[in-house]
Amino acid sequence: MDYDVIIVGASIAGCTAAIEYGRAGLRVALLERHRSPQAHKTLCGHFILGGTHDVLRRLGFWQPMLDRGAAVTTGLGVWTGSGWIVPTPGNGVPPAISLRRSKLDPLLREIAAATPGVDLLMGHRVTGLAETGVVTDAGTRLHARLVVGADGHHSTVARLAGVGEDVAPNERFLFWTYYEGALMNGPGDGQVWQLDPDVAVCIQAGDGLTLVGVFPAKHRLAEFTEDRAAAFDRFVARLPGGPSLSGARQVSNLIGTTDYPCVRRDPTPRPWLALIGDAATASDPVPAVGCGWAFRSAAWLAEATTGPLRDGGDLRPALRQYRRAHRFIDRYDDLGRQDALARPPAALRRVIRAAGVTDPWIARRLAMFGMRAAAPSVLLNPKVVVRALLRSRLAG
């Protein structure tokens, strides 16, 4: 069977790309190894940073996500050793959104399946690759000019194509759980604690639930191995301005992982193959960037390649355009990999963070950076550094 595009993996990245291509009039095969459209990723905190807000609105996903119970976060309070950075309402930082994957993944598949031109093929695991297409475990052969690997962190497509991996260590581990009736005590409608090197979060998870998560450095692993639940409760109880949980009901077990290295692959490894989402960049989960990267990289790829796929033009310049757009992610991923080493923060970083406590101009830039709503230069530039240093000198 012939298609314009074959997409392997019907989760965030794959569904997004399929929907974009289908809406542009292309014929798309969207293959997913799971049989049930309700299948979803469980290892995900599903907090989608504000930098993705515009893309979600443009794609028409924002309102359906709200209709399924998503929570919107307009401003995070950030605890630093020097006090809270309090979000200022109306400061132009785009809102984040959170919808559990048990709802998000089926919703995206529903939209994809209803898009003309998209054949959503559930229960099709890709096991072989050829320049003009893929082979599934049932022996089905499909052909297309472009194959897209949207098959996640362990990308089979990338492995089958012999694409190299750049793996970097992650020196933190992660556990979180959900509460009904939790009361937030910190500023904003969600909080992050930068405890250097540990990190913790308390965010609205949708449907009235609150997600409380801890991301300690690995030297604390033994403590959590001994009694995970007790170590988690102790950690949360000691958070300055942490949530009140005494009247709350914990509605899930602890979810998490003790090791999650960062993986990066060339997003355009062959003239007929592109990788999107985690298949291209599986970043450190702590700053909650992955879902946003999946939506955004899928949209960038579709935007770059739709023209040549429709009119039979050369795909190579289009893939180079996608590669250039992907540098936005690469730059943040470089910084994320340094942070994932869980080393004490550089003095300058501490100074900028401390300045954010008293200076709303710097606080806004910290928030734009944290929400991945602008390139890293929104924060990492000489103007911010000089202003932060002056504040630090004035403070004493």
Ligand X SMILES: Cc1cc2nc3c(=O)[nH]c(=O)nc-3n(C[C@H](O)[C@H](O)[C@H](O)COP(=O)(O)OP(=O)(O)OC[C@H]3O[C@@H](n4cnc5c(N)ncnc54)[C@H](O)[C@@H]3O)c2cc1C
285 in contact with ligand X (CB under 6 A): yes
Q: To the nearest whole angstrom, how small is the minimum distance from the Cβ of residue 339 to ligand X?
A: 15
- Contact segment (CB under 6 A) with ligand X among 9-17, 234-242, 303-311, 385-393 equals 9-17
253 in contact with ligand X (CB under 6 A): no
288 in contact with ligand X (CB under 6 A): yes
Q: To the nearest whole angstrom, how small is the minimum distance from the Cβ of residue 101 to ligand X?
A: 7
- Contact segment (CB under 6 A) with ligand X among 40-48, 55-63, 73-81, 179-187 equals 40-48
Site residues (CB under 6 A) for ligand X, limited to 41-80: 41, 43-48
Decide whether 295 or 350 has the Cβ nearer to ligand X. 295
Decide whether 84 or 175 has the Cβ nearer to ligand X. 175
Decide whether 85 or 126 has the Cβ nearer to ligand X. 126
Q: Are strands 28-32 and 118-122 parallel, antiparallel or unpaired?
A: parallel
Q: To the nearest whole angstrom, how small is the minimum distance from the Cβ of residue 389 to ligand X?
A: 32
Decide whether 32 or 359 has the Cβ nearer to ligand X. 32
Q: To the nearest whole angstrom, how small is the minimum distance from the Cβ of residue 156 to ligand X?
A: 4
284 in contact with ligand X (CB under 6 A): no
Q: To the nearest whole angstrom, how small is the minimum distance from the Cβ of residue 210 to ligand X?
A: 14
Contacting residue, 289, 315, 351, 371, with ligand X by CB under 6 A: 289
Q: To the nearest whole angstrom, how small is the minimum distance from the Cβ of residue 391 to ligand X?
A: 31
Contacting residue, 11, 73, 268, 306, with ligand X by CB under 6 A: 11
Contacting residue, 34, 68, 143, 349, with ligand X by CB under 6 A: 34
Binding region for ligand X (CB under 6 A): 8-14, 31-34, 41, 43-48, 125-126, 150-153, 156, 174, 257, 260, 277-279, 285, 288-292, 294
